[in-house]
Amino acid sequence: MLELPADEALIAGEWRRGAGPPVDTVDPATGRTLTTVHSVSAEETHEAAERAAEAAAEPVWRELRPHLRARLLHRIAELIEHDADRLADLQTADTGKSRTETGALVSSAAGTFRYTAAALETAEDAVTPSRGPYVTLSLHEPIGVVGAITPWNSPVASDAQKLAPALAAGNAVLLKPAEWTPLVALALGRLVHRALEEAALPAGLLSVLPGPGSVVGEAIVGHPRVGKVAFTGGTATGRRIGRVAAEKVMPVSLELGGKSPTIVFEDADLERALAGVMFGIFSSSGQSCVAGSRLFVARSRYEEFTDELVARTRDLRVGPGTDPDTQVAPLVHHRHRDAVAAHVERARAEGARVRCGGRAPEGERWRDGAYYLPTVLDGLPHSAAVCQEEIFGPVLVALPFDDEDDLVAQANDSVYGLACGIWTADHRTAWRVARRIEAGTVWINTYKQFSVSTPFGGMKDSGLGREKGREAIRGYQRQKSLYWSTDDHPLPWAG
Ligand code: NAP
């Protein structure tokens, strides 16, 4: 039996029903309403920001030694691990994602807290070379209040990626989940709240504020107490947040969209490449920022490779996320499924060859769910909208390439620069192409592998800043330089 969170938001250290309008959260596998969550209002967001600023300034938090803050993060990880099944079930119900995947996301969230705790304990400030009779220090301090705004596709992992380093750095956090998928952030909020209580730390250090981006998101970003926003979501929203940040002269990190190329060279191990290409685009039903949604295949192997790819794609098992055999689960929401279908219809109208999929599955079993069949398209030039725009669904567009220069020109002809996959047996080709492609992450003979210790982020319209890695904590701090006189030497203008 699925344990649903109460209809309460965590506002300024207190659990209560939001004063904004109710929003139904829907199980996309069935179309049934799971529960209703009241949004918080702009006034409540203001209240949370004010309380967060007070909490961040309280000596018990501000002066807490790093090893004790690390202990808090380990405790949060422990609570996540303890509740792992419940959190994964909740996320599957809320997002439609397969249970295998949500299990992995929950475990990655716990891992993020643990890794960040270790990074925090080993983070060092610097004594810099001095040019006079004084000691010079470069120190890092918390920003104060951080806004963390996340999308619906991998909530628990993207929440943790912001929450862990922001708390490690000594801040208070206002977390805003996506309107379609607030449940797992609320459940995570309960765990963090409990860990804060156990450690006798101010409850106002975390608020979880469900509600629409246009109200709650904007209230967070524009609030004068909020000193940084860490955002994951679409490029248009990221740009909007960036404009407000520029006005406030506030740092912002933006993890945005992608249209990532996945490249199969003539000499690639085709068996591995087929598996990697399919996993790269169709896992998470393509609702992944790094989805390998543009496939480039050496012209000499193009027909052979795409024929086999299409045959195997037809065999992928579509079904509800709760079925352990499911490979392609429903999309997050019926409205999103319809948006994906509209992209495919447009491509069809422009002359695309629909090699497989291109529609929702038919029949009683699929009627109420937000399903869409894994789809392979080709036959369009790289300038076509379907090659340029992020679809964020199980839709792969395939193109041939003639040589390395042709490939690099096509692959880089995109506003995005998030990820790239290269399949080749030649280490020289892999090295050259990996360095020439504009992408924040490049996978060679693998795809969609992640490690919390490796920085992640985009180039070009795919974003600004990096998450993960030892440096993640620094993204939530401000630097201060200190000059400390060590003797009584005469100062300029003295006497
Ligand atoms: P989105 O519409 O940009 O929404 C993301 C978050 O921003 C949601 O919480 C949303 O709230 C909020 N928001 C919307 N308008 C806002 C505003 N004016 N001010 C502040 N916050 C606002 O993106 P999405 O459709 O949920 O997510 C899909 C996108 O995320 C894709 O483009 C995908 O590539 C990207 N993504 C990127 C990464 C990465 O790491 N690079 C990872 C995952 C996803 P509401 O839900 O209430 O609108």
- Which of 25, 112, 146, 149 for a ligand 1 pocket mutation test, highest count of atoms within 8 Å of Cβ? 149
Contact 149, 231 (CB under 8 A): yes
| Greatest distance between any 2 Cα atoms in the chain | 93
- Which of 237, 240, 462, 468 for a ligand 1 pocket mutation test, highest count of atoms within 8 Å of Cβ? 237
Distance 314 CA to ligand 1 centre (A): 31
Distance 457 CA to ligand 1 centre (A): 15
Residue having the nearest C-alpha atom to atom 11 of ligand 1: 213
Distance 211 CA to ligand 1 centre (A): 13
User: Which of ligand 1's atoms lies nearest the C-alpha of 220?
Assistant: 20
Backbone angles phi, psi at 91, to 5 degrees: -70, -35
Res 1: pLDDT: 83
Rounded Cα distance between 149 and 255, Å, is: 10
The count of C-alpha atoms lying within 13 angstroms of the C-alpha of 220, restricted to the half-sphere facing its C-beta, is 32
User: Which of ligand 1's atoms lies nearest the C-alpha of 238?
Assistant: 3
Q: Residue 434: which H helix or E strand, with range?
A: helix 427-436
Res 299: pLDDT: 98
Contacts of 91 (CB under 8 A, 6+ apart): 97, 102, 105, 106, 155, 156, 181, 183, 184
Question: Using H for helix, E for strand and C for coil, what is the string for 266-315?
Answer: CCCCHHHHHHHHHHHHHHHHHCCCCCCCEEEEEHHHHHHHHHHHHHHHHC
The pLDDT tens digits for 144-166 are: 999 999 999 999 999 999 999 99
Res 494: pLDDT: 86
The type of residue at 425 is A
Contact 423, 397 (CB under 8 A): no
> Which residue ranges have their beta carbon within 6 Å of ligand 1?
149-153, 176, 178-179, 212-214, 217-218, 221, 232-234, 237, 240-241, 255-258, 289, 390, 392, 418, 458, 463
The count of C-alpha atoms lying within 13 angstroms of the C-alpha of 167, restricted to the half-sphere facing its C-beta, is 34
| 3-state SS, residue 384 | coil
Res 490: pLDDT: 87
63 noted as active-site residue: no
User: Which of ligand 1's atoms lies nearest the C-alpha of 463?
Assistant: 41
Distance 348 CA to ligand 1 centre (A): 28
Rounded Cα distance between 205 and 480, Å, is: 23
Residue having the nearest C-alpha atom to atom 39 of ligand 1: 255
Distance 116 CA to ligand 1 centre (A): 24
Q: How far, rounded to the nearest angstrom, does the alpha carbon of residue 224 sit from its chain's CA centroid?
A: 25
Domains and their CATH numbers in the chain: 9-256+462-481 (3.40.605.10), 261-444 (3.40.309.10)
User: Which of ligand 1's atoms lies nearest the C-alpha of 289?
Assistant: 34
Distance 74 CA to ligand 1 centre (A): 28
Rounded Cα distance between 303 and 441, Å, is: 28
Among residues 255, 390, 438, 467, the one annotated as catalytic is: 255
Written as six digits, the tokens of 356 are 């497989």
Rounded Cα distance between 108 and 126, Å, is: 31
Whether the model pTM is above 0.95: yes
pLDDT (tens, 9 = 90+) of the chain, 495 residues, equals 898 999 999 999 999 999 999 999 999 999 999 999 999 999 999 999 999 999 999 999 999 999 999 999 999 999 999 999 999 999 999 999 999 999 999 999 999 999 999 999 999 999 999 999 999 999 999 999 999 999 999 999 999 999 999 999 999 999 999 999 999 999 999 999 999 999 999 999 999 999 999 999 999 999 999 999 999 999 999 999 999 999 999 999 999 999 999 999 999 999 999 999 999 999 999 999 999 999 999 999 999 999 999 999 999 999 999 999 999 999 999 999 999 999 999 999 999 999 999 999 999 999 999 999 999 999 999 999 999 999 999 999 999 999 999 999 999 999 999 999 999 999 999 999 999 999 999 999 999 999 999 999 999 999 999 999 999 999 999 999 999 999 998 888 987
